[in-house]
Amino acid sequence: MKPPIALLLIFLCGKLHAQETEEKIKPICTIHVTTMNENKMKGLLILTKDSVVAVYPGNHKQWNKGKKYNAVVFGFSRIKKVTIKKNNRVLKGISVGAVIGMLPALSKGFKDDKSGITQLTELTVPVGIVTGAIVGVSAQRTFMINGTGSLFYKFQKQVL
Amino acid sequence: MRKICLTLCLVYLIAANSEASDANSSLRLNFLISPKQEKFDAAPLSFQLQAKLVELFHRKEIYVIVAKSSEDMVKQITAILEKRNAMIGNIWFDSHGHFTRRRSLFEIGTEEFNFQSIRDTCFTMHLKKLAAYCDTNTNAGIGSCYGGATYTLPAIEEFPAQRMNGDSLMIELSELLNNATVYGCESFVLTGPGILRGSYAFAGNPWRRKFKDQVYAPVWEKLGEWNCYSGKKKKLEEPVTVSLQPNGKISTKKVNYLAFEKNKLKWIKKMQRLKNGNYNLAFLYQND
């Protein structure tokens, strides 16, 4: 009975290992790394582990096209400042803005006279969408690292 | 008296005929080479539009060649030269320069010619065919940014200091084109309006923010400067500012671009504003 169980275990281990390697890496967010020499690199954050961040030196378009660039690894001692921009932030901004713009209509929704509300909604919804988009575009978080480990781990905790 | 007059007339006619035949045998044509675009790109498109417009008015002197490779270019050029029984007077290679590759280069279609690849006889076998139509009176212009750069780019992050080797590229190109005179720019080459009017249109600087970084400092220091390698004298000559005449002839300006007070003041202002962080290092890593 023992040999088949051992074989099964080996087979399962192999399967699990295969799953691990086939796991597709997805960019976490857009990142701007400013080095201690004040040079800047824009890219996609693909990994942050221990004392390093791995950055794909391209944008989402290049990533989706499958352009293969070597990831650039930055140790915390090389990093002065990190700015991150979350994915889909514009879409989120637009949807939140649209919902806020519709609030007047939603709050007065059960009353009979709706003509004034309709006119108001026609104005507030586009304004909400535009404002949401602008807020979404400019939404970013900056972390000062200054080459110190403690600040880098704080950044790691907040990103993950 | 009549005899003297007749002899003089005869001598004049013979001299005129011989001059005409000489001029015919050394008929010189000018070529502007531009790469064929697969995607929309404003710079080569601007060059091609201006060149094609000028070609309409100078049909017998200037030819605009839009080529996808050096083989394609040579095929088109030799066909014209054979048909007109002519030599190359001036040849201008319009191309992008790639700062991220940290070397001087020019491209014909998708082929990159730099100081290393130009020494490869297999790679240059098509370009070499043009040597038969060139001599020491031929002028060749490398119309790419930093195409004749001789400075060393400083080290940046993980990238070591690297020499651009534009002079080597110019020397090799001159040898390839039968000791022609080659011009190459140390700095930016613009393709704005008026490049074929013999003006300073090639000189100047691009407006994008990424160029205003300390990484580009050596390029800014030599704004509007062109190096010239004479295949006849076998030496690099004094830096000049180059322009293209409406007939496609490469000429040098008597006064350099930065000798004008207005240009110099602008240049000083921009040099002072150069700072780190405007250039995205990702471009360097993409070419790594």
Name, in order, each residue with C-beta under 8 angstroms of A42's C-beta and a sequence gap of 6 or more.
A30, A31, A32, A59, B280, B282
> What is the distance in angstroms between the Cα of A153 and the nearest Cα belonging to chain B?
23
pTM comes to 0.80
A142 strand-pairing partners: A83
Q: Do A38 and B285 touch (CB under 8 A)?
A: no
CA distances from B153 to A83, B147, B207, B271 (A): 28, 14, 21, 16
Facing residue for A69 by CB, picked from B276, B279, B286:
B286
SS3 label, residue B115 = coil
Name, in order, each residue with C-beta under 8 angstroms of A9's C-beta and a sequence gap of 6 or more.
none
Facing residue for B285 by CB, picked from A35, A37, A72:
A72
Average model confidence (pLDDT) for chain A? 80
Chain A residues with CB-CB distance to B210 below 8 A: none
Q: Do B285 and A42 touch (CB under 8 A)?
A: no
> What is the distance in angstroms between the Cα of B100 and the nearest Cα belonging to chain A?
13
Question: pLDDT of A51-83, one tens digit each?
Answer: 899 999 999 999 999 888 999 999 999 999 999
**What is the largest distance, in Å, between two alpha-carbon atoms of chain A?**
81
Q: Which two tokens stand for residue A25?
A: 């890496």
Mutate to test the interface with A, among B280, B283, B284, B287 (most CBs of A within 10 A): B280
DSSP string, B23-85: HHHT-EEEEEEEEPPSS--HHHHHHHHHHHHHHHH-TTTEEEEEESSHHHHHHHHHHHHHHHT
Q: Do B282 and A70 touch (CB under 8 A)?
A: no
Provide the 10 A C-beta neighbour count for residue B104: 30
CA distance B278 to B215: 9
Please tell me if residue B80 touches chain A, with a CB cutoff of 8 Å.
Answer: no
> Mean pLDDT throughout B161-170?
94
pLDDT computed for residue A112 by the predictor: 57
Average model confidence (pLDDT) for chain B? 89
**Stated length of chain A:** 160
Using a CB–CB cut-off of 8 Å, the residues of A that contact B are 34-35, 37-43, 55, 57-58, 69-70, 72
A114 has pLDDT over 70: no
A8 has pLDDT over 70: no
In the chain, the amino acid numbered A89 is R
In the sheet that holds B62-67, the strands lie side by side as B62-67, B28-35, B87-94, B139-143, B181-185, B226-230, B235-244, B250-253
> What is the distance in angstroms between the Cα of A76 and the nearest Cα belonging to chain B?
14
Helix spans in chain B (H):
2-25, 42-57, 70-84, 125-128, 166-176, 217-221, 261-273, 282-286
Is ipTM over 0.90?
no
B254 has pLDDT over 70: yes
Q: Do B276 and A40 touch (CB under 8 A)?
A: yes
CA distance B36 to B8: 55
Question: pLDDT of B3-32, one tens digit each?
Answer: 666 666 555 555 544 444 444 457 999 999
CA distance B127 to B67: 13
8 Å CB contact between B203 and B186: no
8 Å CB contact between B119 and B172: yes
